[in-house]
Structure 1
Amino acid sequence: MANFLQPPRLRIGEETEEERRATWLELFYDLVFVVAVSQLAHNLHDNVTLSGFFGFVALFIPVWWSWIGSTMYANRFDNDDVGHRLLTGLQMLAAAALAINIHHGLSDSSAGFAVCYALGRAVLVAEYIRAGMHIPTARILTNSYATGFAVAALCWLVSAFLPIPWRFGFWALGLIIDFATPLICTKLQIQLPPHPSHLPERFGLFTMIVLGEAIIAVVDGVSEQKWDVFSAIAAFFGLGIAFGLWWVYFDNLGGTPIQKARTEGKVGPMTIWLYTHLPLVIGIAATGVGVEKVLLSEQQIALPDAVRWLICGSVALCWLTLGILHRLGVIRYCKIRAKYRIAAVPIVLAIAIFGKGLLPIAVIGLLALVCLVQVVQDFSQSRPTTRLSEPEI
């Protein structure tokens, strides 16, 4: 028991060269976000419009940033002591309450959503203060993070007592402060860069959560209607899209950006790698909703415009972000891969623009074909691997 009473310690530095994996507590913590992502997808499923998509994004950002906050803290300071476990339990409660308030999160439940997000950030602030008290070498970084995140949390808490649309204005201000805090502390991050194997794995696990929504979408889409040949083939294509995104992302995942921060003092690639994951996971989650809507559509009638634009736009967003990550070298650097990813974007958007009148199976089949081409190209460049990949020179 004494081991669990130890104060927080720095998990990076001398240990950085060692392999490090996600803890059972981190995996347990992720379960709350499985529910939160599911709630976000449900909201978008009920309102497949442009405003519905923007609402989905508006709620997705704070949910994702809540997960990022706890993940970045654990990467540096997690010691699995009693204090950290209890504080993580409080964060799980805040995240669960956040998920509950996602439904009507931009209307009736918006005040509750704001309070829950603020409480989660307040717990994170307490963790950073606690770490700074016990780790003098990290105190400047922890104090800077605690200050920035506390101001952001205050903005969210105040917003709960303001009417709409002023409430959302304070949400935006709070998020700007939240996102800007790590950017302001880039010099401090060079001194204490994240762990190069642990962080990519954690980001991969969140990506797996949103990919899981695509699998659930296929199961729900097929189970909620009568089976026929068209439904079965469309379900196969839907799984193919998810499989293609999984293949390309995980075959190129690695810790190169963090290694550059450690060895070359370049925080930029690491920052781009981190923030570009936001549109990527948004695209994957929205793709899952699009797949389900396609499977629930009448297979003998042209796919509704809103659904066609949702699934095509979401898939295009995924390939665009993956292309950016390839081109900038913040996942496996490869100009050829980047060209293929970027080239897929106008092709997918062309399906959305000129695909009016196409049957659901035709739309999802064409998207699956685009994903297949990406997988074949990726396979032709290197041997498939499920391990964290090393950078290509």
Structure 2
Amino acid sequence: MSEALGIDEHDLKAQNPRFLLRQPRALQWFEHGRLVKRHDEERQAGRFELFLDLLYVAILSNFADFLAEDISGAKLVKYILVLAPSWHIWSDIRELMNSFYNDDLLQRLLILWLMAVLVVYGNNAPLVDEDIGAMRAAVGSYMVARVTSNLAHLVFSFASYHHRRQQRLWVVLSSICLCIYIPLYFEDVSIRGKIAAAAVAVSLEEFIWVFCYSPVAKKLLRVKYSTAVDIAHEIDRFAAFYIIVLGEFLYLIVKGSNAAVGFNEGLLRAIWTLIIAFCLNWLYTHADGSMESTHPLRHNIYTGFSFALIHLPLIAALLAGGHVAAASVAEEDFEDAQRWLLCEGLGVGMMCLYFFALIHACQDEPGTLLMTKHVRIIMRPITGLITILLPLAHHLNATEILSIIMAMYVVCLVWETVGSLKKGACFFEHWSDVDYPETHQQEEQPKDNEATMP
């Protein structure tokens, strides 16, 4: 990563209380390959970005509910195809706030408008295969959201020159890509044709995003100024969305008091689900367990894009698996479809976490920790593979399946935690400096008096 250069805040001031509508200014950019930042301090998610996340709690839960009601291959395809567009809308907002955040009236109203459109999308998307009106409402609201974000990029490209060429390339290509969704409006088009069109559009949108912000596009456009991200803000936003997904593990284990009364198998499954979610949160935070590690967004362009792209399959898998795990509290046993969705969701999620750890660059000297990086994280793919194959054991009931998964996740977590200790590490740290400073002074005072007596 190139050295970051600060900009004189007297000349370039991001916040100005005299205006309700402030000029959108790029917060960071590359100039001749060198990173320039408007401010040196690290950013965190704004309050209105977090408010947006609250809506996604409900949207994701709604998608998972409809999938779990009637689990089939067709429903799973629909689940992926309605989840991906909602992720794209969230990503649009994340990118805009990362590059041009100034928290003025226009940006707050932009978030409110996109949230209103998301309410339409979140209510209609699960019903797209049942009613043509729901299909049109879902596709229309999605296109409105993307066009709104594109218009924001276009307006911002006039207000700030730092991302201009790449922004306009993105606006043109992504707007053209939206045309692929047009067949979904027509009742005469078969459901297979609509699925194919949506799948092509979703995949192409991912490709266009990578292309527009890649070195290839920068070379083709011959840009002097190019896009850059605030890495701290980007990491914070992805982590926040991951936490939203883990919330699906926890919501249903309490809602409806299905684990009452006293100690019962339902309560046991609720606790096992909680432990699984806790382990998943720990493993995401733990990354590759290195003492000195370079985050994928800071390593190189390829690991940076991989970090962003891996989150869609990660959240899709864990959202589905977590919903079934939590819903098991109210059920005596799994049906075959539920068994497969639970295990495939959690297994694929663990595989994604393995890839997530791989793209972190370990900077530790050889022999620093008890285990090398690949030995430390080897339990992730092993655990993921066993979880994926677990439904083949047809004799296991719901409690036994969750018990096995929970035990494997705990073993994986303990293995990585112990393997991330330095060589020669002790189990307990010796406690020191536990007394008040005044105690030491009072004990030393008489000795000083004795030394001064004749």
Normalised to the residue count of structure 2, the TM-score between the two structures is 0.77
User: Which structure shows the bigger proportion of residues in helix conformation?
Assistant: 1
Residue 88, structure 1, aligned to residue 111, structure 2: yes
Distance 2:82 2:262 in 1: 34
Pick one of 347, 369, 381 that aligns with 2:419.
381
Deviation at 1:55, TM superposition (A): 2.0
Distance 1:167 1:48 in 2: 20
Residue 256, structure 1, aligned to residue 295, structure 2: yes
Distance 1:308 1:227 in 2: 26
Residue 2, structure 1, aligned to residue 18, structure 2: yes
**Cα distance change, pair 127–38 in 1 and its aligned pair in 2 (3 A):** same
Deviation at 1:228, TM superposition (A): 5.1
Partner of residue 263, structure 1:
none
Partner of residue 164, structure 1:
190
Normalised to the residue count of structure 1, the TM-score between the two structures is 0.88
Pick one of 122, 126, 129 that aligns with 1:99.
122
Deviation at 1:210, TM superposition (A): 0.7
Distance 2:81 2:120 in 1: 17
Deviation at 1:249, TM superposition (A): 0.6
**Cα distance change, pair 255–130 in 1 and its aligned pair in 2 (3 A):** farther
- Aligned-residue sequence identity (percent) comes to 21
Partner of residue 141, structure 2:
116
Pick one of 296, 303, 312 that aligns with 2:343.
312
Alignment: residue pair count? 374
Partner of residue 204, structure 2:
177
Question: Match of 2:345, as an amino acid?
Answer: S
Say whether the 8 Å CA contact 1:105–1:113 is kept in structure 2. Answer: yes
Say whether the 8 Å CA contact 1:32–1:92 is kept in structure 2. Answer: yes
Q: 1:248-269 CA deviation, whole Å, 9 max, x = no partner?
A: 1123298722223xxxxx3111
Partner of residue 59, structure 1:
82
Distance 1:368 1:290 in 2: 14
Residue 371, structure 1, aligned to residue 409, structure 2: yes
Distance 2:123 2:142 in 1: 12
Partner of residue 444, structure 2:
none
Say whether the 8 Å CA contact 1:325–1:331 is kept in structure 2. Answer: no
**Cα distance change, pair 331–34 in 1 and its aligned pair in 2 (3 A):** farther
Pick one of 127, 132, 141 that aligns with 2:166.
141
Say whether the 8 Å CA contact 1:283–1:317 is kept in structure 2. Answer: yes
Distance 2:363 2:47 in 1: 28
Return 345-354 or 268-277, whichever deviates more: 345-354
Distance 2:65 2:116 in 1: 21
Deviation at 1:19, TM superposition (A): 1.2
**Cα distance change, pair 61–225 in 1 and its aligned pair in 2 (3 A):** farther
Say whether the 8 Å CA contact 1:145–1:181 is kept in structure 2. Answer: yes
Return 78-87 or 362-371, whichever deviates more: 78-87
CA RMSD of aligned residues (A): 2.4
Return 162-171 or 90-99, whichever deviates more: 162-171
Deviation at 1:76, TM superposition (A): 0.9
Partner of residue 388, structure 1:
none
Distance 1:74 1:143 in 2: 17
Say whether the 8 Å CA contact 2:173–2:208 is kept in structure 1. Answer: yes
Distance 2:77 2:263 in 1: 34
Return 166-175 or 357-366, whichever deviates more: 166-175
Deviation at 1:330, TM superposition (A): 6.8
Deviation at 1:332, TM superposition (A): 9.8
Distance 1:41 1:121 in 2: 23
Say whether the 8 Å CA contact 1:234–1:361 is kept in structure 2. Answer: yes
Say whether the 8 Å CA contact 1:270–1:330 is kept in structure 2. Answer: no
Residue 324, structure 1, aligned to residue 355, structure 2: yes
Residue 283, structure 1, aligned to residue 317, structure 2: yes
Question: Match of 2:279, as an amino acid?
Answer: G
Partner of residue 98, structure 2:
75
Q: 1:352-386 CA deviation, whole Å, 9 max, x = no partner?
A: 212x1212110100010111012212321347xxx
Distance 2:210 2:47 in 1: 30
Q: 1:70-126 CA deviation, whole Å, 9 max, x = no partner?
A: 111211112212222222221111111110112313331222111111010011001
Say whether the 8 Å CA contact 2:343–2:390 is kept in structure 1. Answer: yes
Q: 1:137-186 CA deviation, whole Å, 9 max, x = no partner?
A: 21101101111221223333453235333333332333233212222220
Distance 1:289 1:26 in 2: 25
Distance 1:286 1:348 in 2: 14
Q: 1:10-36 CA deviation, whole Å, 9 max, x = no partner?
A: 122324752110001111111221121
**Cα distance change, pair 158–123 in 1 and its aligned pair in 2 (3 A):** farther
Residue 223, structure 1, aligned to residue 234, structure 2: no
Which structure 1 residue ranges, 5 or more long, are not aligned?
A: 261-265, 384-393
Which structure 2 residue ranges, 5 or more long, are not aligned?
A: 1-16, 29-35, 219-224, 365-372, 422-454
Distance 1:332 1:365 in 2: 36
